[in-house]
Amino acid sequence: MGTKYIILSPVYNEEEFIEKTINSVVSQTNRPVEWIIINDGSTDQTKNIIEKYVSKIQWIKLVNRSTIGYRPGHGVVDAFYDGLSKIKSTDWEFIVKLDGDVSFNEIYFEEIFKKFAENARLGIASGKTYYPSKNGLILEDCPDYHARGPSKIYKRECFEQIGGLKSTLGWDTIDELQAQMHGWETRSYKELIIVHHRRMASRGGISKGNYRVGYTAYKLGYHPLYMIMRSIYRMIDRPFIVGGLVLFYGYLKAALKREKYVVDKETVNYLRHRQLKSLFNLGKFIRNK
């Protein structure tokens, strides 16, 4: 018998992609013991598409939340926990937060659970996300220590030790910071490909997404120097220049409003120390080239 895991998928208006996600999970060599898909107030055909599969596959269940809809941050986590409350299995080893706009090959979960088996301190992991283009798949760049939000896999012990997910903007950074502070490792693996059919932070438009990311970064306590460098780096990606400017504008807007951090001082200090260390290592690399 394979690794015991459960999947929770909060979805909203995913009629274009949800069938790709369902077919990817159904074709896995290591299938979940339960999969709860939480329809968070969709106004399109998402619910009807899911129901076709629920009627045929016993381990897929649908939870409908009425008039809720897309809400960045806390909405996703609230829907996640609504689904978790419906899980009947008690002996699962891993819990997966999976979006409804991704697809992957049939050995994705089998391969990623091998990573956990090889490293006892691996607490949160994912593959890397790639978005499709006319030139093929393009990597959505992120540090190796960051597990991607569209497919986050938590070892049960780690999930319980960090107190689960926080219902706030930046939840998918807070979970990793808390895990690292408890001695867990977090990783994303380039060789494990997740096709992300909707680009990261693109719901509502790329510019709005960049603004949202910048605003959230301030509330997480990102160091200003790190944020400047991140914004400059973002300028070389589409939409060129504008993306980085909007990203930093979101950060600056939150700073001018004196938004409160969504994490405690210890977590902010840990995050900033790690960010400054990465900038130092980058500077040292550039000098030695």
As a whole-number percent, the residues of the chain with pLDDT over 90 amount to 84
Q: pTM above 0.95?
A: no
Return the number of other C-beta atoms located less than 10 Å from residue 32's C-beta. Answer: 24
Question: How high is the pLDDT of residue 84?
Answer: 98
Q: Which one has a higher pLDDT value, 206 or 93?
A: 93
CB 217 within 8 A of CB 227: yes
Condensed to tens digits (0 to 9), the pLDDT of residues 215-268 reads 999 999 999 999 999 999 999 988 889 999 999 999 999 999 999 999 999 999
More confident residue, 189 or 286: 189
- Mean predicted lDDT score pLDDT of the chain: 93
Query: Per-residue pLDDT tens for 112-170?
Result: 999 999 999 999 999 999 999 999 999 998 899 999 999 999 999 999 999 999 999 89
Instruction: HSE, CB side, 13 Å, CA atoms: give it for residue 247.
Output: 27
- pLDDT mean over 28-36: 98
- As a whole number of angstroms, the distance between CA 83 and CA 88 comes to 11
pLDDT at residue 22 greater than cutoff 90 = yes
**76 CB-side CA count, 13 A:** 17
| C-alpha 109: how far from chain center | 16
Q: Kindly indicate the confidence band of residue 187, based on its pLDDT and cuts at 50, 70 and 90.
A: very high
Tell me what pLDDT residue 285 has: 43
Topology of domain 5-196, CATH: Spore Coat Polysaccharide Biosynthesis Protein SpsA; Chain A (3.90.550)
Question: Using H for helix, E for strand and C for coil, what is the string for 176-226?
Answer: HHHHHHCCCEEEEEEEEEEEECCCCCCCCCHHHHHHHHHHHHHHHCCCHHH
Confidence check: pLDDT of 93 > 60: yes
User: Does 65 have pLDDT greater than 80?
Assistant: yes
pLDDT for 73 beyond 90: no
Residues in the chain: 289
Residue 137 pLDDT? 96
**pLDDT for 77 beyond 90:** yes
Q: How far apart are CA 185 and CA 212, in angstroms?
A: 27
Which amino acid is residue 201, in one-letter code? A
Asked if residue 168 lies in contact with residue 162, where contact means CB atoms within 8 angstroms, the answer is no
Contacts of 272 (CB under 8 A, 6+ apart): 221, 222, 223, 226
pLDDT band at residue 286 using 50, 70 and 90 as cut-offs: low
pLDDT for residue 201 is more than 70: no
Residues of each domain in the chain carrying CATH 3.90.550.10: 5-196
More confident residue, 82 or 280: 82
Are 217 and 253 within 8 A, CB to CB? Answer: no
- Give the burial class of 83: count Cβ atoms within 10 A of its Cβ; 0-12 exposed, 13-18 middle, 19 or more buried: buried
pLDDT of residue 204: 62
- Amino acid present at 274: R
